[in-house]
Structure 1
Amino acid sequence: MRTGNVDCTKDLEITVYKNPDGVDMFPIKHVEATVEGMQYQLQCDISEVAPVQNLTVRWYKDNEIIMIDSFTNTNKLPVSESSILTVNISRKDNGAQFRCEAQLDFEPFGPKLPAFVATHNVSVRYAPVFTNDIPEVHIVEEDNNVTLDCEAEGHPPPHFQWTRDGVNMMEYTDKLIITQVNTNTIYTCIAANDLGRITKTIHVNAMRYPPTTPAAARNMPEASPLEDCPLTLTPAELVVRFGDPASANCTTSVTDAAGMGWEAAYGGTGFEKPPTVTWAVKKLTYWHIQPNCYITRIKQCKVSLAVTLYKTPNTVSVSEFHPGPMEEGKEHQLKCDIISVAPVQNLTVKWYRGNESVMTETFNDTTATPVNVSSTLRVTPKRDYNRIHFSCSAELHLGPNGPEPVPTVISEPYTADVRYKPLIHDCPTQYTGVEHNFSLNMLPCKVDGNPPPVVNWTSEGKHINASQSLTRGQSGVYIVEAVNELGESSTSVTITIEYKPSFACEDSYEVKENDDSFAGCEPEGKPLPTVTWYKDGVMVSKPPWTKRDSGKYVLLAKNKHGTANHTLSLNVQFAPEFKEANESKEVTLGQNVTVDCSAEGNPGPVIQWNYTHAVNVRETTWGRQATINITGATSTNAGVYICVATNEVGSVSRYVTLAMKGKTAGFPWTVILGVCLFLILTISVIILYLRWKKHGQYSFVPDKARDGSEIPMTTKSDGVKA
């Protein structure tokens, strides 16, 4: 494809797949004898499938999924793979069907392909266990018959044996029929196979009526439930832990009773004399026991003792319905298994996230014997749940007569592994660091994600080593990006790198007097340093400069990160200045006259006299001084003599006027001629000076000579005194 003037291409991704040639499953551990409690392993072989990274193997027990397996092999050619399932086998798994399904998954865009299935049925061997609640005590009216039931199951099926008072009987079935019971006898049932044996002892007690009781009393009608039965039970209700002793008293206040007693499958009494009779057992293990206290008067009546036999769970545990980590925002189910608890209708299951209660569940099952129950917690995980402990507790609330505190069993904590995309937080939008003492790792940015994300820093599209110290030239915008398989997150930070002051200046500078724009020695630093000038150890102000400010200076620069100093020499240049002022002299004809002119300046000025030359006039110069010597002054020597001092800064002029004594007022022609010559010379000097200076400003200030005539104009530069 061509876009504008640029060619671009994109590769077409093609995936070639191949369904498995076949799927086979077989046991690889405890193949010959699968015994309850052993670890059982099944292997599912998938042959010649591609691409294997798109293969999913699902394991089922009956129709419940128990494991999902995937593969990381990136080979695109057909390969053979195996998936292994390890389970702890119990008797409830006997006859269960295990199934593995292998399927290539290209959703959501690819085709939906069929699953290839293999199955295996498990036969589990286990020791015998009784399948019904066998009363430990049978109370039988004398001369009546009774059947003792000793049902048990096992794999292989158990065989049975009965004993009577410790003596073997020739009985080999699970049921024993005893006729015409007339003595108290102990029977023992034995159920055994090659994996173990169990026994159950049953007391058969014959009930005899006292000789004083008429035979008709045996068939005496019971009192109507609506009639009052004068019996009091203490306590009226009994809550007993399985295997603990139990007892209750039955008392009556009447005096005409023939007798009273307790009827119970275990712990019953004979026909005893009023007013009190006690029911007691040393170890209560019969789940359906209901002791009745009866009293015989004209009629017989009875009162039942409410007995709640409870058992705390063997174990309470938390597990996952579907193994694997939680993912933020997707529902996940946890299961709380409570093993062997009774009575379940008194059970309350509480779920906790950390220390916070999040769900409570109760049960309506009225089964009195121990059962296994489960509670399900549906969780929509948040990232805050990662590493949080989930737990459940099983509490038996047995009413006001129950034990205190409430019997409770708590599971081991389940630690949540929540996967979530990266999040960058606590990152400032702007940050200031110090050169050579700051790296990106020192930013307070925190990166969170599960799996732990990969963190990258870039600036202007270039990767930056986050542990490397930054320099002053690396101020700018930095972008941090965190990526894991669930997503990505990024943010930017504008970083300013500050640094202590430093100088990169010359050792000497030249400035002009009164110049306030000197910036020849400014320090670097961020924040901008403050600069203090010192001369001879004394702090001085900065420009404008004066001619007295030449000399050696120490500059001290300071900001919050440090200080720096620099020593420099300053040469202040100034325009020339005359030592003498303008003056006028009266000269007598024939007199010798000397006129001096000297000036100071930096750089040293050039001094030049402008006047009307004559044969008797001689000019000499030495140093910064120029002298005019007139020998035998004549009228032609009268006039104005101009001394001009010039340097790079400016130019100044000084005027000396010579006048002849004895002359009348007004200007004679010789004077006028001299003045004209003076003006011509002055203009010539100005033109020459302008050509040399190439710039300047002119100020014309007229002055009066002693005789009243105007003195010629002079040149004045900025900052130069005339």
Structure 2
Amino acid sequence: MFCCCIFLAVSLLHSLCHFHVSGYDPSCTEYPVFTPSALVVKYGDPANVTCVVCQKDCSGDVSGLEHTVGKVSQNGTTMFWTVDRLTEWGISLQCYYTNDAGNQCTSILNPTLYQPPESVSISFVNHTEMMFENQQYTLQCSVQNVAPVQSLTVTFYRGNTALGHLQSNSEQKKPVNETFTLNITPRREDDGAQYWCESKLELRPAGPQRPPVVTSEKLPAIVHYGPELNEPPNPDVITITEGDTLHLNCSSVGNPSPSYTWTLPLNSSPSYSGSVLTIKSVGFEHEGQHICTVSNTVGTVTKEFNIDVQISSIPYIIRGTLLGVLVLVGLSLGCYCKRKQRGNYKLSKIIVIDRSTPTAYKGAWTSMLLSVLLSVHYRHHLANKLWARRFFLLTNVFSFSFSQRNYLDTMLSCYLFLVISLMISFRDVRVSASGSSCTENPVFTPSALVVKYGDPANVTCVACQKDCSGDVPGLEHAVGKISRNGTTMFWTVDRLTEWGISLQCYYTIDAGVQCTTVLNPTLYQLPESVSISFVNHTEMMFENQQYTLQCSVQNVAPVEKLNVTFYRGNTALGHLQSNSEQKKPVNKTFTLNITPRREDDGAQYWCEAKLELGPAGPQRPPVVTSETFSAPPVYYGPELNEPRNPDVITVKEGDTVHLNCSSVGNPSPSYTWTRPKNSSSSYTGSVLTISSVGFEHEGQYICTVSNTVGNVTKEFNVDVQASIPNSAAFPWIWIIVGVSVAVLSVLICVLCCLFYKQNRKGSYNLKDVLRFPMRTALPLQNCENI
């Protein structure tokens, strides 16, 4: 019997070696784990998720996964939820198990179901006509049927410049219509700008790698502003020399284009309506104030020019010099004749004036010097007055008529009188050189002309800057009409529709040479349409293979000014230009080779056609964009998420082990596991979970991941070791086990001894057996009565 007790105690001790002691706690020490931990699904797409209920051995507990749609399969403590087409909004998945204390440990997964906007549009709030500079307007971006709206970010753009980012404060899960507004204050530089908005669903990190983006159409804006002068105000007085050319520049900018009105001095030329008033040869009648009034429908500005005309000294110096030469020639001739009569005709004494010189010649010489000095020094006050010229004539007549003694003196006086009178009377003589080459060329304003097909156009040509009124200026043109004001010509056309026209402005100089300037207006036409597609490809794409994008631009001119940019999302992929010199509208196709990566799966491609027309063209180059083209799926082979495992995975008996073979690939890869012979049946998930490892699980596990592109394998070598209690809990476990075994052994021995002793005496009352003797032994008769 005693041996039986010892055997029982040893067996109990051996069984308790595998007993794990844990303190009682009403809260959960672990919770179910979802994989993935966050789920984002597009409306109508399939979905699946895995839940590992618990990591420890809880196979005997009550576990489950609550769901309203889809179906659930289970493999041990791992559950798999799948749905073929998710269309329910606001669903929730609850994965749970019940622990030993009866508490339910639950994890909740709320899948995010999203739907990109059906449409995005942009407009102005309560405004359909023109805009004015420095006034406030409101843009609104309307997004239709989008979910979830709290993940939506709307960005407003002017051209390629972001104006602001807005988000909704709604928490609605189902699709809704949402409107976002932004206040803007346009400037004149924004005239012709294109406004648009972009809606983006920010669903990261569990959402698509490329957030779903939908853009609105482009909304052009027309900004009106009052005239503003191009050049600063003039000085108080503009001083100019008589006979020079004067340009009074009143050019300005404004929208709509401003008109010009000039107020001129009373005795000046008739009215003028251009931006630059040109006076070819300034006279004293042009002296005074010129006022330019610039106006359009928005406002008016004025500019004043105060002109002071001064006499040029150069014509009078030339006149005086010629007068002096002629007088000296006459005097020399007279002196020569006089001295020849006297027999003294040495050439060295011809022009010498001495005592023998007649008084008439001395008076003529004095009158000539006085005339020249007065005409030069007092030219502004005397030389331009009629009485001043008469004074000079009378002075000469008096001088030459004084003391006339003979016929020769009289003839010489008449000669000098004629020369002086002729020089003073021709006060307006101009000295100019003529040659066979052009010293200047006609000038067009503007110097370069860029016109949209069908729009009106005008240009001004100043044939020559100098006094060329006697020449023959002209302007050759194929369309439009010409008006003339002196040597300034104005070309206008109400609707320019002729391609490749040329304007030739010219004048003919004295030598018969024609001086010409040619202006070739640039007529442009925006593309009728812009489209993007792949060349000879409509199905899926494979990573690291080359494909060709093509951007087709229809009916655009001039094509040599066209710049095409390819985009993937908001990233520019390349800029291309045409080498054609065709002026008329043509269809042009541009191609670009791309090599997609896995990150480009689902990317949106588009292209932009921009006419770069230079400084003479619109301040905002005309732009037309294609629709957004969603690329086919980018397929790539499986790639493991985690690195290779160590050669051997050591795990203790009874523990839980996770063999992670998860990978990425497109299409989604499938998993095949090769397990040890003694192990369970086959498994097809990405993570193989063994809740309680036993020695039968020891061996090699091979995971094969494959899709239509390729396959990879991953090996797991599992080594199972006997479980050893935790080092921290080891003394307490053995103390408890030892005390329990000792108490149990003593109790069994005492019972056995007492039972055996009483039985041998013939008394085996159980009450007496279990009752410990105090001071006296039990009576023997009690044993006999049993």
TM-score (norm 1): 0.38
Which structure has more strand as a fraction of its residues? 1
Which structure has more helix as a fraction of its residues? 2
Q: Which has the higher contact order (CA 8 A, sep 6+)?
A: 2
- Give the structure with higher Rg (CA): 1
